[in-house]
Amino acid sequence: MEILTDIILPVTLLVTGIFLTVKLRFVQVRYLFQGLRNMFSGRREKNGGISPFASLMSSLAAQLGTGNIVGAGSAIITGGPGAVFWMWASAFFGMATAYSEASLSIITRRRDKNGKTEGGAPYYIRCAFGGRTGKILSALFSLFATIALGFTGVAVQSNSISTALNEAFGLPFFITGIGITLAAAFFILRGTKAVTGFAERTIPVFGVLYFLCSLGVIIFNIKNLPEAVRLIFVCAFSPKALFGGITGIGIKESVTQGIKRGLFTNEAGMGSSPAAHALSSSEDPHFQGTLGLAGVFIDTFLMLGITAIGIITVLYTGKAPPSGTLTGSEAVTLSMGSIFGVRGASVFIALSVLFFAFASVLGWNLYGKAAAAYLFGEKSERLYLISSLFFTFTGCIMPVKTVWLLTDVFNSLMVLTNAPALIRLSEKTRKFIPDNKKSC
């Protein structure tokens, strides 16, 4: 399993991202600001779909989860401060990947006999290869996505919620499982628009609140910021430079933890977010593509980045590095404790994990439902939803290492079936970019 998640996965993501960056002529640099502007110009619904803004918020609802809080802390504890550099590197190239995923989801989507929009990675995978190969690969992707998102994925998120609430309030895991499952059922069973509506109304508010609080940690410890930035770049290539190497962290841990946890939070290359982008009422692949790359930027460079820098400024500057037995959640709590106090930070982190991870439960359930419907037909949706709610509950009481291992494996399998299609369709994607149209 380690070969798959620690070697094959990082190499595939980086190669795909670098290839698409060159092929699309650094689309993430040229159109980042346009993408950020487009976030606020696509709030209207039309043609029976959801607004482009709602589709982006639904995508962010799945991305802004455990990975931004617990995942960031875990990556740093395991891979050192240098893991942050590799998170950013994978995200930079992943922005080109996300552009491709979002734009391709627009041109390959379709409407069923009831007028319902269907789209996502299985549709462009089938388009990329055609024939029997396309059918087999799209079916495999849908199977992996159903398991990775609707089952093990929601289990990771609910596990993080139950752990955080238990640490902060002593709430029993069983009770949390019941509460989270009932709350998820309330939105999920009401349909896609209930999920996207929740994301559109709440993600901007809570995202800004969390960002400001995390920024406060950095400002309060501003004298440590230059050293924290130095450690991120130095330890990315020489982890043993940190306190004489007493942490035992090597370059492999730094790279793999950064890329794996970066994937878990921004999902670029995994093929999950296209299911949300396909629901957009936008007809312009380039417009939706810029929202895709903006989503990765917000998720990893802003939200995850500010969490990670806060951890490093508090725990890694001017003192012995923390023990490897420290959990990701504990690392973030100690960081926030510098301004809120340990008790206040514990409550704040628990509530943050509760909100963001719950949003991810809803978002990933939406993606998994689309994959299950592609593979087994619409009649399977009810059985899928019941199964997903079951995993939402059991995730609260399962061993955390088991949940993370299963998630990493199936995330990797999704990438391995999604990435070849993005590469194969890269010439088509390049034609969506306005200043490339004349030369194509």
pLDDT in tens, 427-439: 999 999 987 654 3
Between the two ends of the chain, the Cα-to-Cα distance in Å is: 42
Q: Using 50, 70 and 90 to split pLDDT, how confident is the model at 136?
A: very high
Q: CA–CA separation, 57 vs 295, rounded Å?
A: 9
Q: Is the dihedral of CA 330, 336, 339, 345 positive or negative?
A: negative
pLDDT of residue 440: 33
Predicted model pTM: 0.87
pLDDT of residue 4: 82
pLDDT in tens, 169-206: 889 999 999 999 999 999 888 877 787 788 777 778 88
Tell me, which fold does domain 2-432 have in CATH?
A: Hydantoin permease (1.10.4160)
pLDDT of residue 323: 60
Q: CA–CA separation, 403 vs 424, rounded Å?
A: 33
**Of 127, 93, 89, 83, nearest in space to 108 by CA:** 127
- The average confidence (pLDDT) of the chain is 83
Distances in Å between the Cα of 417 and the Cα atoms of 121, 129, 144, 406 are 9, 11, 9, 17
Per-residue pLDDT for 310 more than 70? yes
pLDDT of residue 300: 86
pLDDT of residue 264: 59
Domains of the chain, by residue range, sit at 2-432
Which pairs with CB-CB distance under 8 Å and at least 24 residues apart come from 25-28? Answer: 25/430, 25/433, 25/436, 26/96, 27/95, 27/96, 27/99, 27/289, 27/293, 27/433, 28/92, 28/95, 28/96, 28/99, 28/293, 28/297
